[in-house]
Structures are given as C-alpha cells and as structure tokens.
A = this chain, B = another copy of it.
Amino acid sequence: MDMNERQFIDLLKRRAAPRPGRKVLPGLRQGIGDDCAVLAHTRHKDLLVTTDLFLEGIHFRRSWQQPDSLGHKALARGLSDIAAMGGTPRFVFLSLAVPRNFGKTGKTGKKWLDDFLAGFFRLAARSKVVLAGGDTGASAAGLLADVVVVGDVPRGTAVLRSGAQPGDGIWVSGTLGTAAVGLAALEREKKLRTLEPAFQAFCCPEPRLRIGSYLRSRKLASAMLDLSDGLSIDLARLAEASGVGAEIDAALLPRLPEIPLHNALHGGEDFELLFTVPPDRTHKLPRSLGGVPLTRIGRITSGQKLMLIQDNRKQPLPILGFQHF
C-alpha cells in the first residue's frame, strides 16, 4: 500500500469527522485513538468496546501453533484492550470466515475448528465472558476472525492513554520482548517445538485483566495502554496522546536472561500493560500482582522527546515497533 498505518488512520479521521457546525452525538466519551471506545452507559457505568482483526498470514500461521492456542490468542488480544482501560469484559462477538477448502487439507476441518473454539471458550469462561453474537462465512484465502469485546467500567474511570503528566513514573507489567523472541524462533524454525517461555508468550498471551482493574480501582494509573506493537511505538502513542515526553532506562527493562535488549525495546505481541503512575501514588503500588511483576522503567517528561538512557548516555529512543502496513 502507498501509505502507512498512520496516514490511513489520518484519512479515516478526516472522513469520519463531523462537519463543522454539526454537533458530536452525545454518549461517545472516547472515540478513535485509545484501546477501546468508551460509550456512556448507565448512571453508574461506561461501556467499553474493542474490535480486533486476527488474520491468517498476517497475525498468525496455522502451522506455527495448536488450534486451541490460536483460539485463546484471538480472544486474549481483545481482552487485553479491555484490561488496558481498567475494565471488566462482559460479552464477546466472534466473526469467523474459513476457506472453502478448509476441510480438504491436512490439519484442518471440523476437528481443527472445534479445537480453536475450545481454546477460545476456555479463556472466555475463565474471564467470565459470554458469546453474544458474531458472523460466519467463507473466506477467499486463509482463516480470518474479527473479535469484538464489550466490557464496562465505573462511570468516568476508564484509564485513557492521554492522562500522563510530567513527573509520573513509567511502569510495565511482566517482562518485555519475550513474545518477539518466540515469533522470531517460529519464523526460523517454522513450528512450535516446546513450551519454552518465548513460545508460550507468543502463542498464549495472558490478558492482564486483574492488573488493569486493580490499577484503575485504586487510581494508581494516570494513563495506560497494552503493549501490542512494541514498547517504543506504544510509548510514543501514549506520549503523543498525553502531550508529553518520556525517558526510559535500558537497564530497568524487565526481561528474561535470554531476551536481547532490542526485543524488549521494540518487540510486539507481549500484551503487557504500559502505564504511568503519579509520584504521590507510587508507594501504593505493589511489586507484583498475582505473581506478575510490576516494574518502573522510566519517567514522563515535559516536552515531546522520547529518550533512552543506556550506558550512562541519554539518546533519542528509536521508534521501531510493528507497523501494520
């Protein structure tokens, strides 16, 4: 395509913008540009809605992982968006299209689909999410899914990307770069061999619903998003939405011993939470939640620059995360 994702979204925003003089419909608290849309709901709750494409050959390969882990991941990505707002997921809509020849090739057909659904609904049951609808059809090429998750959050409390202030600490859950190393190994070796942490992180990310909800309910996070495309690009999105700069310290990034710094900085698909904490709330933050570590990796600055501290030098942070086009 002759434009990148950013340009496409700009095109979309321009076309979508109400004409001058038309008032925006009431009820939309947060539209395009966050992990979820936030809609006014009851007097006590706001509604969260997120929709994620999951396309064979783009987001996954059938040869790389078991169908039940693919079903898990299809749902986990949407739940992670709800977690990033501090919300509770309630309903899911699954739209699924399968190639016409699906039953006529090797590891596919009804058994494959049943295993995919088993993984999807195992995570749904564990997350107390109910299937409310969807769509089905044939696809011209490859399996494709669109997963819509509807959740809620106490009114006015959804944690947006735009609330970070200079002086806030920058924190992440879990470890960084693990999934990217798993993906790289799969691209090299073409299939899932073991359940090493990197494969597990890539194939079966765990949505951080409990952590997101904890941070929101105790007013610990001033801004939050989930790390789907890589720390550098996702941090840039948070900083831009908040109108601030940021400084992260390479030495602080939580990573497993075998994970290179490059992957921790720029690797996508970790689905950990990136959040900012006001200085006067830091003492309330636990070191871990449900066995998942919470780690301070830097601080929000005034201005717009994104900087990386490495080997006692401060340099501009390169933005290298995943581009969707």
Please tell me if the beta carbons of A93 and B148 are within 8 angstroms of each other in the complex.
yes
**Contact between B31 and A130, CB atoms less than 8 A apart:** yes
Docked-complex contact B8 and A113, CB < 8 angstroms:
yes
Residue contact A113 to B18, C-beta cutoff 8 Å: no
A59 to B104, CA, bound (A): 23
Name the B residues within 8 Å of A141 (CB-CB). Answer: 57, 140-142
- Do B5 and A136 touch across chains, with their CB atoms under 8 A apart? yes
**Closest chain B residue to A78 by CB distance?**
B135
Question: With a CB–CB cut-off of 8 A, which chain B residues contact A59?
Answer: 137
- Contacts A32-B131, A41-B42 known; A150 to B15 CB distance under 8 Å? no
Q: Which one of A95-103, A198-206, A219-227, A304-312 is at the interface?
A: A95-103
* Residue A138 at the chain B interface, CB threshold 8 Å: yes
Determine whether A27 belongs to the interface, using a CB cutoff of 8 Å to chain B. Answer: yes
- Answer whether residue A16 sits at the interface, using C-beta atoms and an 8 A cutoff: yes
* 0/1 interface trace, chain A 111-140, chain B, CB 8 Å (1 if under): 001100110110011001011111111111
Q: Indicate which residue in B2, B93, B97, B137 contacts A49 across the interface (CB closer than 8 Å).
A: B93
> In this complex, what residue of B is CB-closest to A131?
B16
CB-defined contacts of A195 to chain B, threshold 8 Å:
none
**CB interface residues, A 31-76, toward B, < 8 Å:** 31-32, 36-37, 39, 41-43, 47, 49-53, 55-59
Best-buried of A43, A51, A59 by chain B (most CB within 10 Å): A51
Chain B hits for A18, CB < 8 A: 125, 130
Known contacts A1-B100, A3-B110, A11-B114; A150 and B39 CB within 8 A of each other: yes
CB-contact partner of A37 in B43, B121, B128, B133, under 8 A: B133
Chain B residue at minimum C-beta to C-beta distance from A124: B16
A113 to B24, CA, bound (A): 24
* Chain A 7-32 per-residue mask, 1 if CB under 8 angstroms from chain B, else 0: 01101100110110010110110011
Is A91 interfacial (CB-CB < 8 Å)? yes
Question: What residues on B are CB-neighbors of A133 within 8 Å?
Answer: 31-32, 36-37, 49-51
Residues of B within 8 A of A2 (CB): 102-104, 109-110
The CA of A137 and the CA of B3, in the complex, are separated in Å by: 12
The 4 tightest CB contacts between A and B, nearest first, are A2-B103, A57-B140, A141-B141, A146-B146
- Residues of A at the B interface (CB closer than 8 Å) are 1-3, 5, 8-9, 11-12, 15-16, 18-19, 22, 24-25, 27-28, 31-32, 36-37, 39, 41-43, 47, 49-53, 55-59, 90-91, 93-95, 97-104, 109-110, 113-114, 117-118, 120-121, 124-125, 128, 130-142, 144, 146, 148, 150, 324-325
Known: A51-B133, A57-B140. 4 other contacts (CB 8 A): A47-B47, A49-B150, A51-B93, A135-B146
